[in-house]
A and B are shown apart, each in its own frame.
Chain A
């Protein structure tokens, strides 16, 4: 298939804790991979992306490395803040035979960071 699997939430951490949210994908090739974040009451926004194997995407202290050996794109942050509380979505690019392209999203992982 062409799917994205994320770890089930919710995840609750204390401020300054280390964060990992697992994401794996299935694909016949090497699709571009993304993390989008949805803060409460808002639409999604791109957090980071990687377009080829071994690329590392990073933004706002978050990182994810495209690992083709394990078909994974896990999201990490060394020290989370209360303001990081949000729902995080892993996504992959998907190209249809007709040539159109779309994003396929994982089910989202809700993160709550307590002070």
Chain B
């Protein structure tokens, strides 16, 4: 059983399109995250949800909109895709919102914007 799963694994699309990435965790965790990893492997947090409530919203363009329908799911919708959005997007989860809590990462979604 995969603890944190993401779909799709690869996403290739044209500039200007709208796309979504889905994430599910079966660990019973309260907190979920979205991270962006650029081509140089630099990893930065984008959003965090705790019990379906947004608790971290970094300086991310408002073209990015996370949605958490329940504690086990956190989806990421991106409007009007730009070339600079090309990256690997990781979902993660942890038992609670404290940074000391171990985060479990999904396998990533590689987004390529042409």
Contacts and interface: CB of A to CB of B under 8 A. Distances in A.
Interface of A: 31-32, 38, 41-46, 49, 51, 87, 89, 93-95, 100-103, 105, 107-108, 110
Contacts, number: 57
A46 B103 contact: yes
Nearest to B110: A41
A101 B41 contact: no
Contact of A100 (B42, B55, B100): B55
Q: Which 4 A-B pairs have the closest CB atoms?
A: A43-B105, A93-B99, A101-B99, A108-B41
Nearest to A105: B43
A51 to B, nearest CB: 6
B111 interface: no
Nearest to B38: A107
Contacts of A49: 100, 102
Contacts of A95: 99
Given A100-B48, A107-B41, A42 B107 contact: yes
Given A102-B56, A107-B41, A43 B4 contact: yes
Interface in B32-46: 40-45
B40 A32 contact: no
Contacts of B55: 100
Interface size of B as a range: 20 to 34
Given A32-B99, A43-B107, A95-B99, 6 more contacts: A46-B102, A51-B100, A93-B100, A105-B42, A105-B43, A108-B43
Interface stretch (B12-20, B61-69, B72-80, B90-98): B90-98
Q: Which of A49, A89, A102, A108 has the most CB of B within 10 A?
A: A102
B34 to A, nearest CB: 12
B29 to A, nearest CB: 14
A102 B56 CA distance: 8
14 contacts: A32-B100, A42-B108, A43-B105, A44-B90, A44-B92, A45-B105, A49-B102, A51-B100, A89-B43, A93-B100, A105-B42, A105-B43, A107-B41, A107-B42
